[in-house]
Amino acid sequence: MQDKLTPFSELLRNMQTMPQTPYDIGELARRRIESINKSVGDLTGYDCLFCLNRGYIAILREDNHEVMQTCSCMETRKNLRQIERSGLSELMTRYTFDLYLTPNAWQRKIKEIARAFLAESIGKWF
Measure Cα distances from 28 to 25, 34, 63, 65, 66 in Å.
5, 10, 13, 11, 11
Least Cα distance to 53 among 29, 77, 31 occurs for: 77
- Does residue number 50 form part of the binding site for Zn ion (CB under 5 A)? yes
Radius of gyration of the chain (CA): 28
Stretch that binds Zn ion, among 17-25, 49-57, 62-70, 117-125 (CB under 5 A): 49-57
Using CB under 5 A as the binding rule, the residues of this chain from 59 to 118 that contact Zn ion are: 71, 73
* Cβ-based nearer residue to Zn ion, 14 or 82: 82
Determine the size of the site formed for Zn ion (CB under 5 A): 5
Binding Zn ion (rule: CB under 5 A), the pick from 33, 48, 58, 77 is 48
- Does residue number 51 form part of the binding site for Zn ion (CB under 5 A)? yes
* Cβ-based nearer residue to Zn ion, 33 or 71: 71
- Dist CA 37 CA 32 (whole Å): 9
* Cβ-based nearer residue to Zn ion, 11 or 68: 68
Least Cα distance to 66 among 31, 41, 40, 42 occurs for: 31
Binding site for Zn ion (CB under 5 A): 48, 50-51, 71, 73
